[in-house]
């Protein structure tokens, strides 16, 4: 009897393992790429047939409360974008996280961490020291692996700032050997770019710099408007907020049980097919729970207020997963509501204090820079004073500089030169 219980336990663990193995790539993919993510699991399975979820009219699947609601965000029009999204930045990078650039388990682990901690522009903003402490590796080893991203497409991603991104891109450019040293010097001293104008090869340097992507993930930002939301959040007829999965867009998995199940091969394929169904259900359950948590923590936003502080760690603790796994899970996932269509990651911010999120700070920073006097751009200290006065918080100047870099906003001197050029 003990042996029977042991066999059942092993079988259950094996089933769970198969489901989890299927679940991760299915969870990480966007809704529009779900069919492609599932294809490796179904191509070699004769008992599975998949019916696409894209055959009906999308607008009919959106609750009328979302379409007819008074919307204060221009991105509402994105609800009706029906074009299937191209491969995401994560998809493109994942394909390259292997030999020869990342041949060892530790190099692949570092590379995966770097990818999981890219901001919307493609810049790396992860806590390298914390990762190295957990993995018991030296920071120099981490950096050695991160710098290999200079050979990864799209070139420039995983750099820490604009200058480093340009250096990454320089290595793959067609610049001549004679102009290369000057280009490196110009990149590292962009604020004084005009001081090099009389140097030999300056025109070639400017031509090459003009071909660089800024920010490095810009082509994926442009595609992100053409999306299909995973969740819809709206107020029902009883004025209660409701979270609804966009499950009508999920592919339907049909299992053909007409085969002779006593055949070992067929029996195994049916088990694999059932694991795939379980994995798809796990994706739905996970994203639905994410939606419920977002409503719980960001209720004020859905009633017209601002996004409140909410970290990935809070969500990770609820799920019992690593924050980097949650970061990948919400990547390329979107929510439609009566204020528009929003990336899930927009609902997760770091708190400046109990009531102010860094998302609000960054939004204000962008606004005041857009309105600044082009002849006298605001210094970081002036920006700091304005932010502290607006939000009644205490910050330091280097935090403003950090936010500028994340938002791809140049320093005041460089902005003045850029305004002059335009």
pLDDT score of 6: 41
β-partners of residue 124 are: 118
pLDDT score of 352: 46
Given a contact cutoff of 8 angstroms between Cβ atoms, the answer to whether 123 and 405 are in contact is yes
- φ, ψ (nearest 5 deg) of residue 270: -65, -40
- Token match 């990864």: residue? 152
pLDDT score of 64: 46
Q: Which two tokens stand for residue 162?
A: 């604009």
Query: What's the sign of the alpha-carbon dihedral 16, 17, 22, 25?
Result: positive
Mind listing the pLDDT tens digit of every residue in the chain (422 residues)?
444 334 444 344 444 455 556 667 777 777 777 777 777 777 777 777 777 665 444 444 445 444 344 333 333 333 333 223 356 788 788 889 888 889 999 999 999 899 988 887 899 988 899 899 999 999 999 999 999 999 999 999 999 998 899 999 998 888 999 999 999 999 988 777 778 888 899 889 888 888 888 888 877 765 444 578 889 988 877 778 888 988 878 888 887 777 655 677 777 888 888 888 888 888 888 888 888 888 888 888 888 777 777 777 777 787 777 776 677 778 888 888 877 788 888 887 654 444 456 777 888 898 899 999 988 899 888 898 898 888 877 777 777 887 888 788 888 888 887 777 76
According to DSSP, the β-strands at 231-235 and 334-337 are: parallel
C-alpha neighbours within 13 Å on the C-beta side of residue 108: 10
Domains of the chain, earliest start first: 2-83+225-347 (no CATH), 89-173+212-221 (1.10.10.1330), 358-421 (1.10.10)
């Amino acid at each position: 009897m003990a042996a029977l219980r042991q066999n059942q336990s092993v079988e259950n663990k094996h089933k769970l393992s198969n489901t989890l193995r299927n679940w991760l790539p299915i969870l990480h993919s966007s809704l529009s790429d779900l069919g492609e993510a599932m294809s490796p699991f179904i191509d070699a399975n004769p008992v599975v047939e998949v019916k696409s979820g894209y055959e009906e009219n999308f607008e009919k699947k959106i609750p009328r409360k979302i379409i007819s609601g008074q919307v204060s965000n221009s991105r509402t029009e994105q609800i009706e974008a029906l074009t299937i999204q191209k491969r995401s930045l994560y998809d493109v990078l994942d394909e390259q996280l292997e030999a020869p650039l990342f041949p060892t388990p530790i190099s692949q682990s570092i590379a995966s961490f770097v990818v999981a901690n890219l901001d919307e522009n493609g810049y790396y903003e992860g806590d390298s020291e914390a990762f190295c402490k957990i993995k018991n590796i030296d920071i120099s080893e981490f950096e050695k692996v991160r710098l290999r991203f200079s050979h990864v497409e799209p070139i420039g991603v995983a750099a820490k700032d604009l200058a480093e991104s340009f250096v990454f891109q320089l290595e793959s450019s067609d610049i001549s050997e004679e102009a290369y040293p000057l280009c490196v010097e110009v990149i590292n001293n962009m604020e004084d770019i005009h001081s090099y104008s009389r140097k030999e090869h300056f025109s070639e340097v400017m031509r090459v710099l003009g071909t660089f992507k800024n920010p490095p993930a810009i082509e994926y930002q442009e595609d992100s408007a053409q999306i299909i939301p995973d969740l819809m959040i709206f107020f029902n007829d009883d004025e209660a907020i409701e979270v609804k999965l966009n499950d009508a867009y999920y592919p339907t998995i049909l299992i053909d049980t007409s085969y002779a199940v006593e055949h070992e091969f067929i029996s195994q394929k049916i088990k694999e097919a059932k694991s795939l169904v379980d994995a798809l259900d796990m994706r739905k359950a996970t994203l639905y729970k994410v939606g419920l948590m977002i409503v719980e923590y960001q209720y004020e936003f859905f009633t017209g207020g601002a996004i409140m502080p909410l970290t990935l760690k809070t969500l990770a603790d609820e799920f019992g997963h690593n924050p980097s796994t949650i970061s990948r899970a919400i990547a390329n996932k979107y929510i439609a509501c009566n204020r528009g269509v929003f990336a899930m990651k927009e609902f997760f911010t770091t708190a400046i204090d109990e009531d102010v999120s860094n998302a609000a700070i960054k939004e204000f920073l962008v606004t005041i820079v857009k309105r600044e006097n082009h002849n006298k751009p605001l210094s970081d200290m002036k920006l700091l004073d304005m932010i502290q006065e607006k939000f009644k918080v205490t910050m330091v100047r280097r935090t403003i500089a950090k936010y500028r870099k994340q938002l791809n906003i140049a320093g005041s001197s460089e902005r003045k030169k850029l305004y002059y050029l335009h």
